Structure 1
Amino acid sequence: MDTYMKKLRLLALLFVGFLSFNAFAQDGAEEITEEELMKFAVMEDSVMAFFEQKNNELIDLIRNNEVIDGAGRYNEIKAAWDNDDKLAEIELTDDERQAYEDILAFMSSVQDEVREFKIDLIKNDEVLGVATFNKVNKAMKENPEIKEKVDSLQAELKEKRSEDSEVSADS
């Protein structure tokens, strides 16, 4: 795990430490603490950051592909991909076909990696835990105020992450 993710988690955990542990009362449902909401938001933000990192890798893979020669040709191949006549029309080479298939395989692996990353975070009791995930997820579905609170926390975390990446890019 890179240093950025460790710093993000540490920051989030410190933030959680300073939060009051007031609970949101739900009609007959389990109470959700600020800490549980923050853990859920941190988990979701961590998944989003991981996805963004992988998506940037994909963009770089497409832009810097020596065989396909950039995003323009990639988009041309993508538009023709399921149509043999169009593929012949754009004169797709065997090397381009292989490079495009490699990109598709990478895209598929990213989806799997993101899913596994999220599952690992959910299963990790130090990060969130399955019980807390289920509890907060259920509460979000049942109570729009809780969903708004989690969305707000995620937006704050994303903003903080953006600020941190701007600072590190300027360094």
Structure 2
Amino acid sequence: MKKVLLFGAFFAFIGMSGFAQEAAEEVTNEELAKFANVEVMTSEYVDSKTEELRAMILENEIFKGGARYNEIKAAWGDEAKMAEAEVTEEEKAAYQAVQDFQNSLQDVVKEYKTELIMNDSILGASTYNKVNGAQKSDPAVKEKLEALISEMKAKNEEESEDGNEGEGK
């Protein structure tokens, strides 16, 4: 009797693994493309926010091209070092503004990506869950998705470079 149960459990396991592969295969190329598009859009959003942070530092006269920012950063949190570096209240406020922006980035990016996922015309939560589950359970789906994301990023970079040629790049 034990052998029959083990035999049955074995076939049930085989059947379930087949079902999981079948579910992963149900992900269409269109769904993969939508998912990849959200990943690329999120990556580009992160890049733009990173550039915004960089500009906050480099373009702020208080930070003198970033050199003073680095001095303040090294002294930040240590009153003795802050006094030694002669950090002014204006510099403290400017540095804190950069820190606040930097600290908010994770939440801002998360909110942005969530909006993309929840928007049915861009992706939709059910498609996100389906593709996300498939990529976790099937390495082939994950590989295909990663290739698609890389391809989309390369295409966007190429288009971006083409658009900047006339701007003296």
Q: Mark yes or no: TM-score above 0.5.
A: yes
| Correspondent of 1:58 among 53, 61, 65 | 53
Identity in percent: 44
User: Distance in 2 between the 1:80 and 1:134 partners?
Assistant: 45
| Correspondent of 1:115 among 100, 110, 116 | 110
User: Distance in 1 between the 2:134 and 2:66 partners?
Assistant: 42
Write the letter of the residue equivalent to 2:92: R
User: Distance in 2 between the 1:79 and 1:159 partners?
Assistant: 37
Task: Provide the TM-score with structure 1 as the length reference.
Answer: 0.80
The worse-fitting range, judged by mean Cα deviation, of 26-35 and 123-132 is 26-35
User: Distance in 1 between the 2:22 and 2:48 partners?
Assistant: 41
Q: Count how many residue pairs are aligned between Structure 1 and Structure 2.
A: 147
Write the letter of the residue equivalent to 2:111: E
Cross-structure match for 1:29 = 23
Q: 1:168 to 1:28 in 2, by over 3 A?
A: closer
User: Distance in 1 between the 2:41 and 2:65 partners?
Assistant: 30
Task: Provide the TM-score with structure 2 as the length reference.
Answer: 0.81
* Structure with the largest fraction of strand: 1
1:98-155: CA deviations, max 9, x gaps?
A: 0001111222333322111100000001111001111111111111111111111111
Identify unmatched segments of 5+ residues in structure 1: 1-24
Cross-structure match for 2:139 = 144
Cross-structure match for 2:151 = 156
- 2:79 pairs with 1:84: yes
User: Distance in 1 between the 2:153 and 2:62 partners?
Assistant: 35
Counterpart secondary structure, 2:27:
strand
Write the letter of the residue equivalent to 2:101: F
| Structure whose alpha-carbon radius of gyration is higher | 2
Cross-structure match for 1:67 = 62
Cross-structure match for 1:168 = 163
Contact 2:49 2:105 in 1 (8 A): yes
Counterpart secondary structure, 1:32:
coil
| CA shift for structure 1 position 28 | 4.4
1:24-61: CA deviations, max 9, x gaps?
A: x9524351111111100000000111111111111111
Contact 2:20 2:137 in 1 (8 A): no
* Structure with the largest fraction of helix: 2
Write the letter of the residue equivalent to 2:60: N
Write the letter of the residue equivalent to 1:91: E
Cross-structure match for 2:11 = none
User: Distance in 2 between the 1:105 and 1:87 partners?
Assistant: 19
Identify unmatched segments of 5+ residues in structure 2: 1-18
Report which structure shows greater RCO (CA 8 Å, sep ≥6). 2
Cross-structure match for 2:12 = none
